[in-house]
């Protein structure tokens, strides 16, 4: 494994498969009550410039289960947001702790932190990417289907950090992925270019369309996310208008494979990006998906921090 987890694009297919393999083993150990503490005495510093339920709880509980402990650092707890440079923060924290998870706005900040820090850095989320969530999604899909061979994944909605990370993942693993989004809300151009380059080697099929029906047709997995992400609340009313017709409901999902699975990284806004009858219905696996954040993040921490 590389020193850091900044983007799924940085990982090889073999490294992704290793993370998923370790996730499965760690989940099995947890369910069987097996004590396994490869990070005994290790400390993870968790920098939160964006709040979260699942990210904080899964990392904090995860490192505790692996024998270590977590140090929560909000923007009120450290000087990063009050003039101290990222480089200074990285160097100082490298002398105190054994790893950093950061959840912030700019991808460039995460990359600068990792470039300077002597310890592993994990991208807990940026406006561009959400690698930890998509690794958990991949693990959840693999659990249900056994493999990724022949699967079509449909992502409907905003071409945000989730769509970007899913593009990278599909391109690495050779999946078919269709992104259905309104005009002006497409995935990042740079991400799409890199994903298409990876797809040429893996055989992945990538489609970006403005037609949500085209996106979901024959898909075995349908994914969506909120239409207005954290920091975009002022755009909420405009986005409601722009995304009309992109709700994942029973009519849209009727074009998918009859046994499709529905995924959402949560929190969800029922009645906006997804209808209640879908997210609370028999096709939904959002709670399993949320649980698997714990197991995949334990795998990432073990692989990055055990030898650090």
* pLDDT at residue 1, as a whole number: 79
CATH class as words, domain 8-130+293-305 = alpha beta
Residues catalogued as catalytic: 103, 130, 133, 225, 265, 293
* pLDDT at residue 282, as a whole number: 98
- Residue 97, both tokens: 């702790």
Share of the chain above pLDDT 70, in %: 98
- Using the 8-state DSSP alphabet, how is residue 73 labeled? E
Mean pLDDT of 115-130: 98
Cα distance between residue 81 and residue 49, in whole Å: 9
Name 295's Cβ contacts closer than 8 Å, sequence gap at least 6.
23, 24, 26, 27, 30, 136, 139
* pLDDT at residue 234, as a whole number: 76
- Residue 162, both tokens: 């989730």
Among positive and negative, which fits the CA dihedral 105, 45, 131, 196?
positive
Q: Is 70 exceeded by the pLDDT of residue 230?
A: no
* pLDDT at residue 223, as a whole number: 98
Mean pLDDT of 282-290: 98
In the chain, CATH 3.40.50.1370 sits at 8-130+293-305, 133-289
Name 115's Cβ contacts closer than 8 Å, sequence gap at least 6.
90
Mean pLDDT of 111-117: 97
Residue 77's pLDDT band (cuts 50, 70, 90)? confident
What is the architecture of the domain spanning 133-289?
3-Layer(aba) Sandwich (3.40)
* Residue 107 parent element (H or E): helix 107-116
Q: Is 70 exceeded by the pLDDT of residue 108?
A: yes
As a whole number, the mean pLDDT across the chain is 95
* pLDDT at residue 76, as a whole number: 76
Cβ atoms of residues 181 and 242 within 8 Å: no
- Residue 146, both tokens: 């056994």
Residue 81's pLDDT band (cuts 50, 70, 90)? low
């Amino acid at each position: 494994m590389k020193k850091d987890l900044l983007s799924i694009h940085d990982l090889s297919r073999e490294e992704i498969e290793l993370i998923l393999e370790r996730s499965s083993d760690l989940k099995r150990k947890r369910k069987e009550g097996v004590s396994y503490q490869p990070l005994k005495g290790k400390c993870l510093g968790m920098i939160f410039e964006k709040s979260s339920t699942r990210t904080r709880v899964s990392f904090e509980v995860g490192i505790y289960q692996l024998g270590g402990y977590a140090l929560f650092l909000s923007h009120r707890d450290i000087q990063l947001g009050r003039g101290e440079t990222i480089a200074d923060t990285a160097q100082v924290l490298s002398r105190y702790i054994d790893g950093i998870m950061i959840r912030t706005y700019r991808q460039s900040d995460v990359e600068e932190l990792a470039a300077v820090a002597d310890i592993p850095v994990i991208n807990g989320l940026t406006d561009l990417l959400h690698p930890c969530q998509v690794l958990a999604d991949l693990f959840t899909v693999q659990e249900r289907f056994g493999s990724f061979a022949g699967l079509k994944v449909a992502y409907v909605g905003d071409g945000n950090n989730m769509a970007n990370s899913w593009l990278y993942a599909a391109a690495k693993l050779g999946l078919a992925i269709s992104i259905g989004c309104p005009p002006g809300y497409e995935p990042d151009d740079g991400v799409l270019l890199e994903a298409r380059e990876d797809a040429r080697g893996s055989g992945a099929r990538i489609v970006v369309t403005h037609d949500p029906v085209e996106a979901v047709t024959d898909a075995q997995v349908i994914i969506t996310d909120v239409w207005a992400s954290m920091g975009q609340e002022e755009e909420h009313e405009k986005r409601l208008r722009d995304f009309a017709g992109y709700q994942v409901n029973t009519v849209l999902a009727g074009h998918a494979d009859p046994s499709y699975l529905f995924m959402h990284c949560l929190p969800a806004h029922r009645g906006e990006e997804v209808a209640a009858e879908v997210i609370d219905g028999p096709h939904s696996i959002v709670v399993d998906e949320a649980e698997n954040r714990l197991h995949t993040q334990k795998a990432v921490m073990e692989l990055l921090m055990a030898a650090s």
